[in-house]
């Protein structure tokens, strides 16, 4: 994961509220900035991320010019864990259901904790 990824994710989550519950929107904003910041032969500055073709996107991901989607999702989870203001509507819902899911999976629980 890039060193400042969590800070960048926090900034996007704060400034673009629709990204709090949707990793696809979050990836768009992260990749859009990364694409814009590419230098040299990797990018024709007349290009726009909105008009990139799939093969070029996959090539950029394969060459690690864009952050891997799982790294973005992992950073988002960590940021939302540590900064409640970055959480969306679905965060609390998912965490409320967590204990029941663990029970359904057969984990032993006492009260609101898993043993």
Domains of the chain, by residue range, sit at: 5-88
Q: What is the mean pLDDT of residues 53-69?
A: 93
Cα–Cα distance measured from residue 59 to residue 49, given in angstroms and rounded to the nearest whole number = 14
Cα–Cα distance measured from residue 109 to residue 102, given in angstroms and rounded to the nearest whole number = 8
CB 35 within 8 A of CB 52: yes
Q: What is the mean pLDDT of residues 97-109?
A: 80
Q: What is the mean pLDDT of residues 78-101?
A: 87
pTM summary value: 0.76
List the structure tokens of 36.
């814009």
pLDDT on residue 53: 87
Task: Identify the burial level of 87 via C-beta atoms within 10 angstroms of its C-beta, where 0-12 means exposed, 13-18 middle and 19 or more buried.
Answer: middle
Cα–Cα distance measured from residue 4 to residue 69, given in angstroms and rounded to the nearest whole number = 16
pLDDT score of 55 more than 60: yes
């Amino acid at each position: 994961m890039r060193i400042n990824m969590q800070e960048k994710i926090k900034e996007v989550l704060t400034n673009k509220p629709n990204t709090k519950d949707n990793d696809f929107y979050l990836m768009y904003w992260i990749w859009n900035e990364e694409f814009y910041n590419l230098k040299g032969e990797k990018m024709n500055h007349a290009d726009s991320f909105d008009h990139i073709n799939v093969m070029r996107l996959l090539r950029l991901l394969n060459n690690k010019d864009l952050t891997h989607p799982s790294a973005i999702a992992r950073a988002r989870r960590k940021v939302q864990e540590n900064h409640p203001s970055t959480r969306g509507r679905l965060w609390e819902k998912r965490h409320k259901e967590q204990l029941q899911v663990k029970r359904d999976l057969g984990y032993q629980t006492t009260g609101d904790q898993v043993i």
